[in-house]
Structure 1
Amino acid sequence: MDPNKPDWAKRMTPSPFSQLHFTKELTNQILRNVKDSKRSRHVPIATVIISLSLVAAVLFIFGISDLNNWAQTHAASFFNKTTKDPIDRTEYYEHGKLLFAVFPQPELTAGNPAGYIFHFTAPFNELQGKMLTIYAIHKKSGLKVTAVAPIEITKPSSGYKGLERFGTHFALPIGGVWRYVVELDGKLYGDVELTLKEPSWEPTSIFKSANYRMRGVEKKLGFIDAGFLANSPQKYMWHFWDKEKELNGKFFVRAVKQGEDQIIDVFSTESLAGALNGADRTAVSMMSLPEKGRWRLLPYIDNRLLETIVVEVN
């Protein structure tokens, strides 16, 4: 550092960012904003101005050399985007006004429950008393899942005047681009799009409960695995652990084969039975899968997808 520099120049030396380089998250956000501004007239010009300002800030702080290094790393992926590498759309505008945005947890993966925060900008009195529903629609297959069952908006988010932090938690069954459709009182309010990574297709591990070996997620759900033979119905006892929720409602199982998008119905029953083998609730099922290979079982209770289970069918 030059000792002859004035104090204000010395104070400007450290980067104002918490990390030394232009983060991937900030990069993606800028590229997303620029692309959205080209794609829709509904995005305010301020979005583009902010994006350009951020790029200018990078030039000022890191210099031309660092920017060139960043450009070489990211430019190819930006200018050669394909349908296999989509850009998420996390905000919904109407007539240039932001109605809501979604903030999902990082690294969304199919089959795994994930947390989401929806930020609504409307004054609370415009939302109060309405029924909020969120559906997720898989863009490739058209599969529709109820992500948030109809719920009445009765109070603002904790610590806020409006519905700035509506939190929810759910899982979606397969990877790819999903369209999240928000409805108020059964009418379309807006939508966003997010991409879920493909989950692991390694068979789900075995755990032990009350001297029984079960396949599933310990202390959440599992079944006594008698093995799977294609087109061979077999009895399976499901077990569930969840003391915080009542585990009431219809229980049904769907399944999807590795490498495919088609989801099939496997089993359903109107309600669960009581506690057994150390679990809080149970269900006896008769299941069969049509083809050999690896399958992902998708168990639901009251239209809520639980942890998924991968099995090998012989």
Structure 2
Amino acid sequence: MLKYLFLGLLFLITACTSQNKADNQTDWFEVGGVKLYGKEGRLGFEPKGENSNISKGGHFFIYFWGKPEELADKYRLIGVHEETGTITTLYPDWEVSRSENKLGADAQSAAKFGFDKKGTWRLEVYMGDNYFDSIVVEAEPDLNKEDWKASPLFKSGIYTMIGEEERIGFIYDDGEVLRFYPNKKQRYMWHFWGKAEELQGSFVVKGTSNETGESINVFNSSGRVGGPINGADASIVSSMSLPSTGLWRLDAYLGEKLFGSIVVEVHKKNE
């Protein structure tokens, strides 16, 4: 009996050691000229845009390599802070695409996350309810909320827009009619600049509050974006409202991929 208990304990120690060793293999690698952070041939995070950094958080494309039975229709990203043992959902269930991609991965998805504590984090990926793999990140988050700023205004055609010029924006002039106020629903026309393959799929907007960290679904459309207009390559009309004052980041997804983000201010009603 003692022999079997000893063997069982030895197996658990070996398994944990192997897992820790595997986690420690996390590093930068390159596929098809694209730099990824993770485990080559298994799991890779590609930062999206200059404001995304694996040690601070941001927006990422995620690529998975695995057997068909290891993959699922949705994945979940869990963060475990080594020093405190804090466990948090960094990104809830989100769709996984198995369509052909530029890196030849078996599947791909996207994520948006940040860290609320410095130190070592283990990012665990679950496919459905099953553990897929994990990476280790040394987090150095910038916890200063004052760094957020409303996106700039720019002109396209005859309209003023807010966003990132020649990438993403919607018609907005910070006037009384179009201003955001808590729970005020308003129609906004989004405009996109990009390659044809980027401008595919359904349109989804997710919002994150700078003040509270609250994340909400702002707008969902099963329809595809329309054609060129106002100097942009594609467009779509949305109906949006935000629940509280302060700065909100609107993350726009096309076909399950993060296309771009716009920061807006929700004003107090007496302003």
Residue in structure 1 matching 2:112, options 165, 172, 194: 172
Task: Name the structure where strand makes up a greater proportion of residues.
Answer: 2
1:270-303 Cα distance to aligned partner (Å, 9 max, x none): 1222221121221101111122221111222223
Instruction: State the shift of 1:128 in Å.
Output: 5.9
The answer to whether the 8 Å contact 2:204/2:220 transfers is yes
Give the CA deviation at 1:211. Answer: 2.4
Question: d(CA) in 2 for partners of 1:210 and 1:137?
Answer: 44
**More helix per residue:** 1
**Secondary structure of 1:151 counterpart:** coil
Q: Counterpart in 1 of 2:214? A: 262
* Superposition deviation, residue 248 in structure 1: 2.0
TM-score, length-normalised on structure 2? 0.60
Q: CA deviation at 1:308?
A: 1.8
Instruction: State the secondary structure of the residue aligned to 2:89.
Output: coil
1:59-95 superposed Cα distances (whole Å, 9 cap, x missing partner): xxxxxxxxxxxxxxxxxxxxxxxxxxxxxxxxxx438
Select the residue among 192, 200, 209 that pairs with 2:135: 192
For 2:236, the equivalent position in structure 1 comes to: 283
Kindly report which structure 2 residues correspond to 1:187-266, keeping only aligned pairs within 5 A, or say none: 187-194=130-137, 195=139, 197-198=141-142, 200-225=147-172, 226-266=178-218
Contact 1:135 1:180 in 2 (8 A): no
> Is the 1:173–1:298 Cα contact (8 Å) retained in structure 2?
no
Deviation, 1:168, is: 7.5
Change (3 A) 1:181 1:219: farther
CA distance in 2, matches of 1:153, 1:237: 30
The residue number in structure 2 matching 1:62 is none
Instruction: Tell me the amino acid that sits aligned with residue 210 of structure 1.
Output: G
Q: Match for 1:136 among 77, 92, 95?
A: 77
Counterpart secondary structure, 2:218: strand
Query: Is there any run of 5+ residues in structure 2 with no aligned partner, and where?
Result: 1-12, 29-36, 38-46, 81-86, 173-177
1:301 and 2:254 aligned: yes
Cα drift, residue 238 of structure 1: 0.4
| Alpha-carbon distance in structure 1 between the residues aligned to 2:231 and 2:131 | 44
Contact 2:203 2:221 in 1 (8 A): yes
In the TM superposition, what is the alpha-carbon distance from 1:189 to its structure 2 partner? Answer: 2.6
Q: Which structure: larger Rg? A: 1
Q: CA deviation at 1:311?
A: 0.8
The one-letter amino acid paired with 1:310 is V
Determine if contact 1:130/1:184 at 8 Å carries over to the other structure.
no
Q: 1:269 to 1:189 in 2, by over 3 A?
A: closer
- Please state if 1:94 is matched with 2:19: yes
Contact in 2 for aligned 1:131/1:152 (Cα 8 Å): no
Cα deviations by residue, 1:18-73 (Å, 9 ceiling, x for unpaired)? xxxxxxxxxxxxxxxxxxxxxx87676xxxxxxxxxxxxxxxxxxxxxxxxxxxxx
The answer (yes or no) to whether the contact 1:131–1:150 under 8 Å persists in 2 is no
- Given that 1:180 and 1:193 are in contact with CA atoms closer than 8 Å, whether structure 2 keeps it comes out as yes
Q: Which secondary structure does the structure 2 equivalent of 1:248 belong to?
A: coil
Q: Distance in 1 between matches of 2:27 and 2:93?
A: 17
Equivalent residue letter for 1:94: Q
Aligned residue-pair number: 211
Secondary structure at the aligned position of 1:94 is classed as helix
Percent identity (aligned):
28
Paired letter, 2:252: P
